[in-house]
């Protein structure tokens, strides 16, 4: 018979080792005793699992739910079942006992987890449907090294932490249990008792693959997605010599689809890939689709690094969406957020009653800008958690890559912190060496385990070698957002054309460093929120000039070295700034001016993709040469793009409303004439139709712009034109 202190500890869910007393255990006299804690039942019979015969009825020793009895004529452990009776004496189940099963995780797996060397921690931690000794159920495992007790609670045990206290595996600080008869779709959380005796808010599973729709926040048992490879050809489409034009999307507000407040993945799969492909983009990038509690964070305050948000339906729908994009020739990029997480009680914050996932010192562990917590990048298990998440999305959903959010905030310990309120690194510097190591590890792992996928850094500083390989000291990203280019050029475009001559360098400075990294030119969601206005709202002048300026700017952007990114709605000049809880104003396409901008973006993508000179050497200095760089007085810019194989495109911009007829432009040798292939002032796009039409512009032996050869052309007002050799 179990001592009273043990019984009371079990019923208070404070026993240090419930597996040592619950289930079958031999006593000193050689008898096998069976003990069960089940508060909601009135009586329990023990059955032989092989024959189904009753062996004994357990004594209801404590009315709070403790049962025990010796098993007659049994000296060894055996397979048994529990027959449960309610207070009316009715049978309501025959079940296996969670405490009849031994340790779940192999020692090697636990040691790898503890050392931060496990390549796929998501295959070990979390909830996994398995069969043990012929019994189906779910294996739960969670990392909580300083907790005094952890129980898994859910629908299957009336959310009662006394029912399934877990086994502590001291090697790795992991708690585990196999719970029979739990099935996929069941809800669960972890009940954690801290080392100082506090019962914490119920915690969602950090490794959950599905969760409830907010405001509910329980984790949901979900199948492990199968390993999926990128389709043939996708790796080539993600290379730096390929055309990459990204359509950035906030899925809930893109377009009203379906009957609910959020589109399902299948709704999106039916509509979004077709539109993006028709527009000529090569990739679609989704703002974070990982589970998050607050819609207004747009997904950037995620708590479910492994769970696709319930807003869009079940996770398998995401796989179908990715397949639909790939079928249209589109790549899929996901925004991934390892830099911070919110402090909601059910999440990672103080997970076991201590600063486990976050830095303990608020000078390291709190993001002032977002009022969020910063992961402890120096802790092996935390880095493993994040690296595993990156691999999970690329390996299990076959996405083409990850755009990593807020990299700048990760790289520097003094990011957005005043002097004296940050902790230097071990060398006394400001760089976060642990975060740097994490980013390098992510990129190495993906390069090895998910070949063909790419990573893109949102990084706004001059940190060196962001897109250089890790073996030469780089961070290992494939691409980096060019935030400096974006800020400079938009500042220029806001100026009235009469003042642009004084700001000409803002349009040229980006070429000073354009090939230091593999750049993406981003006009992202961040540029059209929080009072910044939409793209068309940034443009000066009357309505005609505003639309002409925007078209000219897009022409400049698509002709400039670097991959392209445009946030949804800006392709048709959405008039108001974006808001996450309103759908895009598609009715604006009834206005020819908005439809014209959309037609221009479609044609820019077409020309960008079909003219190798505009993309093949996007990231190489050999692919660019200035023609007219210093004509500040006329606000004219012109350059040559090359593909390294003999093809060239000339891009010429006029950022004043003055048409320049008879403009002599120096041209490279090798062609007898040049022809206009795109003009942002075309009437097709809502422009004034000034330009060079389809006429061949003959090359003359007259010098211009320091060149021996030139052509005479018309530069339309507030316009960009592309010329190709005839």
Residue 28 pLDDT exceeds 80: no
Q: Could you tell me how many residues make up the chain?
A: 726
State residue 693's pLDDT score: 87
State residue 92's pLDDT score: 86
Per residue in 274-285, pLDDT tens?
Answer: 999 999 999 999
State residue 146's pLDDT score: 96
Confidence of residue 260 (pLDDT cuts 50, 70, 90): confident
Average pLDDT, the chain: 96
Q: 98-102, 108-112, 167-171, 403-407 — which is least confidently predicted?
A: 167-171
Q: Could you give phi then psi for residue 448, rounded to 5 degrees? A: -85, -45
Q: Residue 517: name the closest of 565, 439, 567, 458 by CA.
A: 458
Per-position DSSP letters for 82-120, written without gaps between them? EEEE-TTS-EEEEE--GGGS---S-HHHHHHHHHT--S-
Fold agreement (4-100, 234-445): no
- Give the separation between CA 261 and CA 263, rounded to whole angstroms: 7
Q: What is the mean pLDDT of residues 675-704?
A: 96
The CATH superfamily label for domain 107-220 reads Immunoglobulins (2.60.40.10)
Containing 605, the helix (H) or strand (E) segment is helix 592-610
Containing 579, the helix (H) or strand (E) segment is none
The end-to-end CA distance of the chain, in Å, is 97
Q: Which residue is associated with the tokens 């280019």?
A: 485
State residue 137's pLDDT score: 98
Residue 402 near residue 395 (C-beta atoms within 8 A) = no
State residue 563's pLDDT score: 98
State residue 170's pLDDT score: 80
Q: What is the mean pLDDT of residues 107-127?
A: 94
Per residue in 707-722, pLDDT tens?
Answer: 999 999 999 999 999 9
- Judge whether 191 counts as a catalytic residue: no
DSSP state of 193: E
CATH fold group of domain 4-100: Immunoglobulin-like (2.60.40)
Which residues, 6+ apart, have CB-to-CB distance to 134 below 8 Å? none
Q: Residue 387: name the closest of 465, 322, 444, 348 by CA.
A: 444
Per residue in 33-43, pLDDT tens?
Answer: 999 999 989 99
Q: What CATH number does the domain located at 621-725 have?
A: 2.60.40.1180
Q: What is the mean pLDDT of residues 553-574?
A: 98
Strand order in the sheet with 43-48: 54-57, 43-48, 80-85, 91-95
Q: What is the mean pLDDT of residues 468-492?
A: 97
Q: Residue 394: name the closest of 120, 130, 142, 116 by CA.
A: 120
Please give the share of the chain, as a percent, with pLDDT higher than 70.
100
State residue 694's pLDDT score: 82
Residue 241 pLDDT exceeds 90: yes
Confidence of residue 172 (pLDDT cuts 50, 70, 90): very high
Q: What CATH number does the domain located at 483-614 have?
A: 3.20.20.80
Per residue in 374-390, pLDDT tens?
Answer: 999 999 999 999 999 99
Report the Cα 669 to chain-centroid distance in Å: 46
Q: For the chain, give every domain's residue range.
A: 4-100, 107-220, 234-445, 483-614, 621-725
Per residue in 312-328, pLDDT tens?
Answer: 999 999 999 999 999 99
- Give the separation between CA 384 and CA 524, rounded to whole angstroms: 30
- Judge whether 405 counts as a catalytic residue: yes
Residue 526 near residue 689 (C-beta atoms within 8 A) = no
Residue 440 near residue 475 (C-beta atoms within 8 A) = yes
Q: Which residue is associated with the tokens 């983009």?
A: 281
Residue 253 near residue 582 (C-beta atoms within 8 A) = yes
Confidence of residue 699 (pLDDT cuts 50, 70, 90): very high
Per residue in 580-610, pLDDT tens?
Answer: 999 999 999 999 999 999 999 999 999 999 9
State residue 394's pLDDT score: 97
Choosing from 405, 527, 603, 681, the catalytic residue is 405
Question: Which architecture, in CATH terms, is 234-445?
Answer: Alpha-Beta Barrel (3.20)
State residue 75's pLDDT score: 84
Residue 76 pLDDT exceeds 90: no
Q: Is the dihedral of CA 322, 268, 580, 572 positive or negative?
A: positive
Please give the share of the chain, as a percent, with pLDDT higher than 90.
94
Q: Is the dihedral of CA 564, 400, 585, 591 positive or negative?
A: positive
Choosing from 186, 400, 458, 618, the catalytic residue is 458
Residue 138 near residue 209 (C-beta atoms within 8 A) = no
């Amino acid at each position: 018979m179990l001592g009273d202190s043990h019984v009371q500890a079990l019923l208070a869910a404070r026993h240090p080792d419930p597996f040592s007393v619950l289930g079958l255990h031999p006593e000193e006299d050689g008898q096998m005793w069976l003990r069960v804690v089940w508060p909601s039942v009135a009586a329990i019979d023990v059955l032989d699992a092989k024959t189904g015969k009753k062996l004994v009825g357990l004594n209801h020793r404590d009315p709070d739910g403790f049962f025990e009895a010796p098993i007659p004529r049994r000296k060894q452990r055996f397979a048994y079942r529990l027959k449960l009776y309610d207070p009316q004496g009715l049978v309501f189940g025959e079940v296996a006992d969670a405490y009849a099963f031994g340790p779940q995780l192999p020692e090697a797996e636990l040691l790898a987890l503890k050392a931060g060397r496990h390549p796929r921690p998501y295959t070990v931690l979390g909830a996994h449907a398995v069969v043990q000794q012929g019994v189906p159920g779910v294996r739960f495992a969670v990392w909580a090294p300083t907790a005094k007790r952890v129980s898994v609670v859910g629908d299957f045990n009336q959310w009662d932490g006394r029912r399934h206290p877990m086994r502590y595996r001291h090697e790795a600080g992991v708690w585990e249990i196999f719970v029979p008869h739990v099935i996929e779709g069941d809800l669960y959380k972890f009940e954690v008792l801290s080392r100082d005796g506090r019962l914490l808010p119920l915690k969602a599973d950090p490794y959950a693959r599905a969760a409830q729709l907010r405001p509910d926040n329980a984790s949901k048992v979900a199948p492990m997605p199968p390993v999926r490879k990128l389709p043939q050809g996708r790796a080539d489409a993600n290379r730096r010599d390929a055309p990459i034009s990204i359509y950035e999307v906030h899925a809930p507000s893109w377009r009203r689809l379906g009957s609910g407040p959020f589109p399902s993945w299948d709704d999106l799969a039916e509509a979004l890939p077709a539109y993006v492909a028709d527009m000529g983009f090569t990739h679609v990038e989704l703002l974070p689709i990982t589970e998050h509690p607050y819609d207004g964070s747009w997904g950037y305050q995620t708590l479910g690094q492994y769970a696709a948000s319930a807003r869009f339906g079940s996770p398998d729908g995401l796989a179908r969406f990715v397949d639909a994009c790939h079928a249209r020739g589109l790549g899929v990029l996901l925004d991934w957020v390892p830099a911070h997480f919110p402090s909601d009680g059910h999440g990672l914050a103080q997970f076991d009653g201590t600063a486990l996932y976050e830095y303990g010192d608020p000078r390291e562990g709190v993001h002032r800008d977002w009022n969020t917590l910063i992961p402890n990048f120096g802790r092996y298990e935390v880095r493993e958690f994040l690296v595993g998440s990156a691999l999970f999305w690329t390996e299990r959903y076959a996405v083409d890559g990850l755009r990593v959010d807020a990299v700048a905030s990760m790289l520097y310990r003094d990011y957005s912190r005043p002097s004296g309120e940050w902790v230097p690194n071990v060398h006394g510097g400001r760089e976060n060496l642990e975060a740097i190591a994490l980013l390098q590890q992510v990129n190495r792992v993906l390069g090895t385990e998910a070949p063909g996928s790419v990573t893109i850094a949102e990084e706004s500083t001059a940190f060196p070698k962001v897109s250089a390989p890790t073996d030469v000291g780089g961070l290992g990203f494939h691409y980096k957002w060019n935030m400096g280019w974006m800020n400079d050029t938009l500042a220029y475009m806001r100026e009235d054309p009469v003042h642009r001559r004084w700001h000409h360098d803002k349009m040229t400075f980006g070429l000073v460093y354009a090939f230091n990294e593999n750049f993406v030119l981003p006009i992202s969601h961040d540029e059209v929120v929080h009072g910044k206005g939409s793209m068309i709202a940034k443009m000066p002048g009357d309505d005609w000039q505003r639309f002409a300026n925007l078209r000219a700017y897009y022409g400049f952007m698509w002709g400039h070295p670097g991959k392209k990114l445009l946030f949804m709605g800006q392709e048709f000049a959405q008039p108001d700034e974006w808001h996450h809880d309103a759908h895009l104003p598609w009715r604006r396409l009834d206005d020819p001016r908005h439809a014209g901008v959309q037609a221009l973006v479609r044609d820019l993508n077409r020309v960008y993709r079909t003219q190798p000179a505009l993309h093949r050497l996007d990231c190489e200095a050999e692919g660019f040469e200035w023609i007219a760089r210093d004509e500040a007085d006329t606000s004219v810019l012109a350059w040559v793009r090359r593909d390294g194989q003999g093809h060239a495109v000339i891009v010429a911009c006029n950022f004043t409303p003055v048409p320049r007829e008879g403009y002599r432009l120096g041209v490279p040798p090798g062609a007898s004439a040049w022809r206009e292939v795109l003009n942002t002032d075309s009437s097709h796009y809502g422009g004034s139709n000034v330009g060079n039409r389809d006429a061949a512009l003959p090359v003359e032996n007259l010098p211009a712009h320091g060149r021996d050869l030139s052509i005479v052309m018309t530069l339309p007002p507030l316009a960009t034109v592309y010329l190709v050799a005839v």
